[in-house]
A and B are shown apart, each in its own frame.
Chain A
Amino acid sequence: MPFSHQGRSVLTLALAAGLAGAALPALADDAASATGGKLLLSGGVTQVEGAGGGGLTPWAVIGGYGTRDQIGGNAFYTRVGVDDYSLDSYGALVGFYDRVELSVSRQRFDTEAVGAALGLGRGFAFRQETFGLKVRLFGDAVLEQDSWVPQVSVGLQHKRNDQGGVLAFIGAQDDDGTDLYVSATKLYLAQSLLVNGTVRFTKANQFGILGFGGDRNDDLEPMFEGSVAYLLNRNLALGAEYRQKPDNLGIAEEEDAWDVFLAWAPTKTVSVTVAYVDLGNIVIADNQRGVYASLQVGF
């Protein structure tokens, strides 16, 4: 696939930038803090498609620890192991002046034994690249504690799947697609509670792993995603998420996903998120539940 090479080099570059950035604070840690001026965990973690947010859902926060005078960034690796499949995702994002977030990530979905059952071969994998853009429109999720106005951002995630042939065979209408979303995030500090709501306009099947659109529907549909996180202390947040998903393919029922997570950020340069996740039915396998684990390094 021609896009793969291009995408791969972009990704490598972004990852390198993210990792180099992660090393920077060690140098810039002194004084007037050229980087890392946001409060701990206030940039969220990185969701599965590479945007700053929770695990499943983008938030309105701009990823990384840059304030409106700074640039932030991070790189992540996430593994989701459910009963019959596994998903690996990795990538990087850069947050510019707490206003714009650019992200790039790559997902690999391993069909394991199901691949053999479907005649694709054991361990057959779908790969997808996701390019994300998010812009903060208004609000400050953290500091505006005497106002009900949340932080609101709009974003897009353009995804390209590398298995066009298989996707056409199962009834997907496209091997690429673009999700549009609007997110509202608010920290209720007096309650130590963060709340996020996102509406995503999408026709992606299983995050795009199974292509875009299908025989049952080929239009962008609004899907609701929500997160709540309770701050246990400065370094630790316990939360839950829900992500509604379309159901476009006649041959493969798709269900909504949810998770319960624990995000731990010992410092601004590293965070670890673990979750129990339920992705629902995926193709011929019901109740796909398991563990989500994510490591993020950044500044």
Chain B
Amino acid sequence: MRPTTHFVFALALGFAVVLPSAARAQSAEEAAALAAEEALLAEEEARLAAEEAATARDPSAPDPAPAHPELRPVLDQFGGRAGLDALMETFVAGLLADEAMRPFFENIDQDRLKGQLADQFCVILGGDCTYGGRDMRSSHAGLGINRAHFNRLVEVLQDAMDQHDVPFAAQNRLLAKLAPMHREVVTE
């Protein structure tokens, strides 16, 4: 045998040994990428499902954000949409600081909550906002909320409104629209 033949043979042999392991390595990488992609897809699906559930509405539940155009002046007393956004910072902080309220709010997306509350109040007070959240029955189902919990939340909200210098009469005009929600919120 000529040395070149030897060399080619050796090379071929080397390839024969190396190539399959390289192919194996490549397919493992691919599998990992595929798995990651699948996980991402599943995650996205779960996120979409959660989003859908989060915005799902019980058709028999009352409108969670009935618009009251006549309350537009009250919205102004709250400082408009910006005032509501600022109010929710204080309100949600108050809920998390309250021993009785904290368990209901500590494990949820609080930024989302603040946004939805501001949207909801804004729509109720006749503002140009859209509430995309769930109805009050779906969003409170199974939470075991009793009258005392409901009233405690009102108190924390009153504290927040006081802190933001919302006039007492304006507070009551909003609360008068929220109070009947006890029928969907209180399940105990």
Contact = CB atoms under 8 A, between A and B. Distances in A.
Interface of A: 30-33, 36-40, 67-70, 98, 142-147, 189-192, 231-234
* Chain B, interface SS category: helix
Chain B's interface size range is: 20 to 34
Nearest to B99: A31
A37 B180 contact: no
* Chain A, interface SS category: loop
Contacts of B100: 31-33
A69 B147 CA distance: 8
B179 A142 contact: yes
28 contacts: A32-B148, A33-B100, A33-B152, A37-B146, A37-B147, A37-B148, A37-B152, A38-B151, A40-B155, A67-B148, A69-B147, A69-B188, A143-B180, A143-B182, A144-B179, A144-B180, A145-B175, A145-B176, A145-B180, A146-B180, A147-B180, A189-B173, A189-B175, A189-B179, A190-B173, A192-B172, A231-B168, A234-B158
* The 4 nearest A-B residue pairs measured at CB: A37-B148, A67-B147, A190-B176, A189-B176
B107 to A, nearest CB: 17
Contacts of A233: 168
B23 interface: no
B172 A143 contact: no
Given A33-B100, A189-B172, A39 B151 contact: yes
A281 to B, nearest CB: 40
B154 interface: yes
B17 interface: no
A124 B172 CA distance: 49
Nearest to B186: A143
A193 to B, nearest CB: 10
B45 to A, nearest CB: 37
Interface centre among A36, A146, A232 (most CB of B within 10 A): A146
B176 A69 contact: no
A143 B155 CA distance: 14
A79 to B, nearest CB: 30
B1 interface: no
Contact of B148 (A69, A142, A189): A69
B169 interface: yes
B177 interface: yes
B24 to A, nearest CB: 59
Given A30-B99, A190-B172, A145 B147 contact: no
B148 A145 contact: no
